[in-house]
Amino acid sequence: MLDKGLLAVEMEAAALYAFAAARDKPVMCFAHVTNQMGRIDGDFEKGEADGTVDALAVILAAAQRLIERSSDAPVISQA
């Protein structure tokens, strides 16, 4: 991995990409990385201050762009 300049691998994303490769399907994975680990009950929600809303906006924009490029994809609307 170091020869490719990678310092870390996110396990769930790696599994998702391996599955996509095995099925010959496209896939995109977004990871929202924070500086904190969930250590107590309910601590996985980091809130707006840590970029959650911004991260979701990026994902929505990417999904909408993908839909624009595909005529048979379902429409995603923002709630």
Specify the pLDDT at position 66. Answer: 83
**Residue whose pair of structure tokens reads 């170091």 in the numeric block:** 2
Is residue 76 pLDDT above 70, yes or no?
A: no
Instruction: Locate the domains of the chain by residue range.
Output: 1-31, 32-79
Task: Say whether pTM exceeds 0.75.
Answer: no
pLDDT band, residue 1 (cuts 50/70/90): low
Is residue 73 pLDDT above 60, yes or no?
A: no
Is residue 35 pLDDT above 80, yes or no?
A: no
CA dihedral 50, 33, 36, 19 (to 10 degrees): 140
Q: What is the mean pLDDT of residues 32-42?
A: 66
Q: From the CB of residue 16, how many other CB atoms can be counted at a distance below 10 Å? A: 14
Highest mean pLDDT, choosing among 1-5, 32-36, 61-65: 61-65
